[in-house]
Amino acid sequence: MNIFRLAGDLSHLAAIIILLIKIWKTRSCAGISGRSQVLFAIVFITRYLDLFTNFISAYNTAMKVFFLGSSIGTVYLMYLKFKATYDHNHDTFRIEFLLLPTALLSLVLNHEFSVMEILWTFSIYLESVAILPQLFMVSKTGEAESITSHYLFALGSYRGLYILNWIYRYYFEGFYDIIAIVAGCVQTILYCDFFYLYITKVLKGKKLQLPA
């Protein structure tokens, strides 16, 4: 554990908590892509199956349980409890275009051809593109509430901080995982356009609004 890794995890945790607070306080999931949230739930379920087979640390287990619970909880809030506020007309990204290629890729490019390893690889590939329905929704409506922007910024920062963690681990521990690194870089790059808008608009007190 290094400072970048910890900061990344805390950023990830903050993103999830911001999203839950937004939905709970406003009793609404307007502006949030249910499809991205379903993809994140699939990501966590397929990645954290090792909760049952391998104990790493209390920290590791607690975070995994929280990520699993919160992602499934978010899907529940969006599709059941606050279903009426879900903006499904604008949430139209076809997730099979993400699920099928990432599933195929995980069968071809993996460290080991075993069920656990393929599911882990699939979750890494899927996570890298899981935000696309959300970004597509923002671009379709042309705007995002400030709280949604903070959520996206925290979520994007998390994988960016993980890249610094991987650089650190490569130099100081000789450890690297090429699958995680490449997918993590793709994931971070997808947020670049949003980061630019966040820094130039939201941090200056303006609403995130795309040019017409």
Partner 1 sequence: CHCSSEKDEL
Instruction: Name the residues that contact partner 1, by CB under 8 A.
Output: 5, 9, 12, 50, 53-54, 56-57, 60, 63-64, 67, 111-112, 114, 116-117, 120, 162, 165, 177, 179-180
For partner 1, give the closer residue by CB, 50 or 145. 50
Q: Which is nearer to partner 1, 147 or 179 (CB)?
A: 179
CB of 54 to partner 1, least distance (A): 6
Q: Which is nearer to partner 1, 35 or 47 (CB)?
A: 47
Report in angstroms how near the CB of residue 114 gets to partner 1 at its nearest.
8
- Report the residue number, 5 or 81, with the smaller CB distance to partner 1: 5
What span, in angstroms and rounded, lies between the C-alpha atoms of 24 and 15?
14
Neighbours of 81 (CB within 10 A): 14
The tokens describing 181, both together, are 């690194």
Tokens 């805390």 locate to 10
Q: Identify whether the C-beta of residue 27 lies closer than 8 Å to the C-beta of residue 85.
A: yes
Question: Among candidates 188, 186, 189, which has minimal Cα distance to 102?
Answer: 186
> Is 43:127 a contact under the CB 8 Å cutoff?
yes
Q: Which is nearer to partner 1, 49 or 210 (CB)?
A: 49
Q: Which residues pair with residue 172 across a beta bridge? A: none
Report, in Å, the least distance between residue 185 CB and partner 1.
15
What are residue 2's phi and psi, to 5 degrees?
-120, 175
Angle at 119 between CA 115 and CA 123, to 5 degrees: 175
CB of 163 to partner 1, least distance (A): 12
Cβ at position 32, least distance to partner 1 in Å: 22
Distance CA 70, CA 22 (A): 13
